A and B are shown apart, each in its own frame.
Chain A
Amino acid sequence: MYVAVKGGEAAIDHAHRLLADRRRGDRTVPAITEAQITEQLSLAVDRVMAEASLYDPGLAALAIRQARGDMIEAIFILRAYRTTLPRFGSSQPLDTRHMRIERRISATYKDLPGGQLLGPTFDYTHRLIDPDLVGDPEVPEPARRDGGLDNIARVADILDGESLIETEADADIVPGDITREPSEFPMSRPERLQSLARGDEGFLLALAYSTQRGYGRSHPFVGEIRIGLAEVEIDVPELGVAVTLGEVRITECQMVNQFKGTADKPPQFTRGYGLVFGQSERKAMAMSLCDRALRAAEYGEEIVAPAQDEEFVISHCDNVQATGFVEHLKLPHYVDFQAELGLVRRLRTAWEERGVLLEDDDSEAPLGEAAQ
C-alpha cells in the first residue's frame, strides 16, 4: 500500500545539489567532456548504448557523466530519454557481410578467406596495470598494411557449402517489437534476440558461463566474431529510394554448436547468434550462447537449466527493469511495514501463549522446558 506523504523537499533539493557537487569533484581538476568520454571511454559508451537500446554516442557519454560513471544509472537515463522521442520508422537490415570490418576472428578455421584480423583487442595483453599510461603520453600511430580487406568470407557460408550447418529461414516477415507489444511467452526468436541485445551484460555473461559449466547442453565454438561499421539505410517514401543515414558500430558473434540430430533432423551444426551495438565482444558472445540455449525446445532438448528457461532469462535480463524493482525497496514503505509489524506482533503473542519459548526479558534463563 502506498500513501502520499509530504515533506523532505528541502532535503531532496540539497541532496541533489550535493550530488552535483560530488559529481564535479575537485574543482582544481579539469571537468571531463563528452568528447573525451566518447573518444577515450568508448567501450563504456558502447555498453550504455547497447543496454539502453539507443544508438547515440554523444547522449550516451552525457548520460555516463551525469550518472558519475554508474553504468546502469546511465543506461536508465538514456532509456528514459528514448521514450520522449517519436519513431520515424525502421531501417533496412544492417548488412554485417559488407560492413567495414575492424576485427574479425574465427576459432573454427585458421586459414579462412580474409584471414584472422585482430583489430583493437585486449586479447594477448598481459593485463598488467600500465604505469606508462599515467598522464598524457605520446601514442604512436597505428601500423598499416596495404592491400585492403577484400573477400572476408563468412564462416557460416563455408559450413553452409557442405550443408553441415542449419540455414536461417530468410522469411521477410515483420518482426515483433518488445518496445511496442507486451511480452508474451513463448516469444518468437526475433523478440528474444531484441531482448537479449539490450540485456544486462553481466547477467547474460553469467548465464552463458553457466551453460559452459554444465547447466544446459552446450558444445560451442566461436564460428566468427566480427566488429565493424555498418551503414544504416532507410527508405524515403517521398523519393522512392533508400538513403544512408550514417554508420553504426556493431559486434556480431556466430556461435556454432554441435547437434547430434533427431529422427527429423540430420546431425549438423546449429547456430546461436549475437548482435550488439558498439564494440562489445563479451556481450555478443554471451548473447549467442544464451540464444542457442533458449532454442532448446526447437531441438527437442530437455529444459533443465536456467539459461534454457525463456521466461526466466528474458524476464530478468533487462537491468533497467531489474534495478527499478530492486531499488524501489528503499523508497518509503512505512505503512506496509506498520502492517507487517502488527502482524508479526500478533503472531508472536499467539506463539508465546502456546508456551513454546520464554519471553524476551527472560533470555538469560536456560531455554524452554529445562527452566521449568
Chain B
Amino acid sequence: MDATATPIDPEMKRRRRMSLLARASTAELDATWAALAVPSDVTDLRGPETGLVMLTGRIGGDGGRFNLGEATVSRSTVRLPSGEVGFGQMLGSDRLMARRAAILDAAAETAEGAPIVARLCDEIETRLDRERQTSDAETAATRVDFFTLVRGED
C-alpha cells in the first residue's frame, strides 16, 4: 500500500485506515480505546476469528504466481448500535486486536469517532515511517563502498 498517497475517495480512505489499523500496536489501540466512548452493545457480524491466508509469490519475483506458505490472520466484522459496520483484519492470532480494529473502523464512520480514529491512523503512519527510515538508514550504513587499488601502469 502506498500509505503516503492522499486519500481522496471513501474507498481509498477506508483502505488506508484499515491498512494502518492492521499495523497498530497494542499500546496505540489501548490509548485510543480509552479516548473513545465505545458502546457496550457492539454486534459481532463475523468472528472475531483466526484463520489462514495463503501468501503467494511470483516465480523469479516477476513471473507466474506460486503458493509460498500460509500466515495466520485474525479478522472481525462488527456493527455499532448506531448502524456503522467496521472491518478489522491483521496478521497474527490476536482476535481481540482484530475486533478492536473493526470497532475503530466502524467508529471512524461516526461524527464523534472520526477525528479520534484519524488521529490514531496518523500516529501509526508516522511511527511506521519513522521505523522505516531508521531501518533504511541502518541498512544503508552496511552499503559497501568499493575502492580500487592502484595497479598496473595506468
> Which residues of A sit under 8 angstroms from B57, Cβ to Cβ?
93-94, 96, 193, 250, 275
> Which residues of A sit under 8 angstroms from B141, Cβ to Cβ?
142-145
Known: A85-B50, A156-B62. A115 touches B143 (CB 8 A): yes
- Of B59, B75, B87, B136, the contact of A148 (CB 8 Å cutoff): B136
- Of A92, A100, A156, A178, the contact of B135 (CB 8 Å cutoff): A100
For A, the interface residue count at a CB cutoff of 8 angstroms equals 85
A169 B136 Cβ-Cβ under 8 A: no
> Which residues of A sit under 8 angstroms from B63, Cβ to Cβ?
167-170
In angstroms, Cα B19 to Cα A232, docked, is 10
A144 B140 Cβ-Cβ under 8 A: yes
Say yes or no: is A189 at the interface (Cβ < 8 Å to chain B). yes
Say yes or no: is A190 at the interface (Cβ < 8 Å to chain B). yes
Choose the segment among A131-139, A214-222, A241-249, A357-365 that binds chain B (4+ C-beta atoms closer than 8 Å): A241-249
B61 A96 Cβ-Cβ under 8 A: yes
Say yes or no: is B26 at the interface (Cβ < 8 Å to chain A). no
A102 B50 Cβ-Cβ under 8 A: no
- Of B60, B67, B71, the contact of A273 (CB 8 Å cutoff): B60
Known: A56-B93, A189-B66. A239 touches B15 (CB 8 A): yes
In angstroms, Cα B67 to Cα A177, docked, is 7
Say yes or no: is B35 at the interface (Cβ < 8 Å to chain A). no
B12 A94 Cβ-Cβ under 8 A: no
In angstroms, Cα B143 to Cα A242, docked, is 34
A245 B62 Cβ-Cβ under 8 A: no
> Which residues of B sit under 8 angstroms from A119, Cβ to Cβ?
139, 142
Which B-chain residue is minimally distant from A272 (CB atoms)?
B60
Say yes or no: is B76 at the interface (Cβ < 8 Å to chain A). no
In angstroms, Cα B54 to Cα A118, docked, is 30
B143 A175 Cβ-Cβ under 8 A: no
For residue A321, give the distance in angstroms from its CB to the closest CB of chain B: 16
Most-contacted residue by chain A among B14, B91, B93 (CB, 10 A):
B91
Which bucket holds chain B's interface residue count? 35 or more
A241 B15 Cβ-Cβ under 8 A: yes
B53 A89 Cβ-Cβ under 8 A: yes
> Which residues of A sit under 8 angstroms from B49, Cβ to Cβ?
86
Choose the segment among A2-10, A25-33, A47-55, A66-74 that binds chain B (4+ C-beta atoms closer than 8 Å): A47-55
For residue A185, give the distance in angstroms from its CB to the closest CB of chain B: 17
Say yes or no: is B149 at the interface (Cβ < 8 Å to chain A). no
Say yes or no: is B103 at the interface (Cβ < 8 Å to chain A). no
Known: A177-B67, A243-B22, A248-B71. A91 touches B54 (CB 8 A): yes
Say yes or no: is B69 at the interface (Cβ < 8 Å to chain A). yes
List residues of B (6-32) whose CB comes within 8 Å of A's CBs.
Answer: 11-12, 14-15, 18-19, 22-23
1/0 per residue, CB under 8 A from B, across A156-196: the answer is: 10000000000111111111111100000000011101100
For residue A173, give the distance in angstroms from its CB to the closest CB of chain B: 7
Which A-chain residue is minimally distant from B64 (CB atoms)?
A171
B56 A93 Cβ-Cβ under 8 A: yes
- Of A93, A198, A273, the contact of B69 (CB 8 Å cutoff): A198
A190 B61 Cβ-Cβ under 8 A: no
In angstroms, Cα B72 to Cα A54, docked, is 7
B87 A236 Cβ-Cβ under 8 A: yes
A240 B11 Cβ-Cβ under 8 A: yes
Say yes or no: is B65 at the interface (Cβ < 8 Å to chain A). yes
A154 B61 Cβ-Cβ under 8 A: yes
List residues of B (79-102) whose CB comes within 8 Å of A's CBs.
Answer: 87, 89-93
In angstroms, Cα B59 to Cα A252, docked, is 10
A246 B90 Cβ-Cβ under 8 A: yes
Say yes or no: is B134 at the interface (Cβ < 8 Å to chain A). yes
B137 A144 Cβ-Cβ under 8 A: yes
B69 A145 Cβ-Cβ under 8 A: no
A-B contact pairs, 12 of them (CB 8 A): A87-B70, A143-B142, A168-B60, A189-B59, A234-B53, A234-B89, A241-B15, A242-B15, A244-B23, A245-B90, A247-B23, A254-B60
Interface residues of A (CB under 8 A from B): 49-50, 53-56, 58-59, 82, 85-94, 96-97, 100-103, 110-111, 115-119, 142-149, 154, 156, 167-179, 189-191, 193-194, 197-198, 231-234, 236, 238-248, 250, 252, 254, 271, 273, 275, 277
Interface residues of B (CB under 8 A from A): 1, 11-12, 14-15, 18-19, 22-23, 49-73, 75, 77, 87, 89-93, 132-144, 146
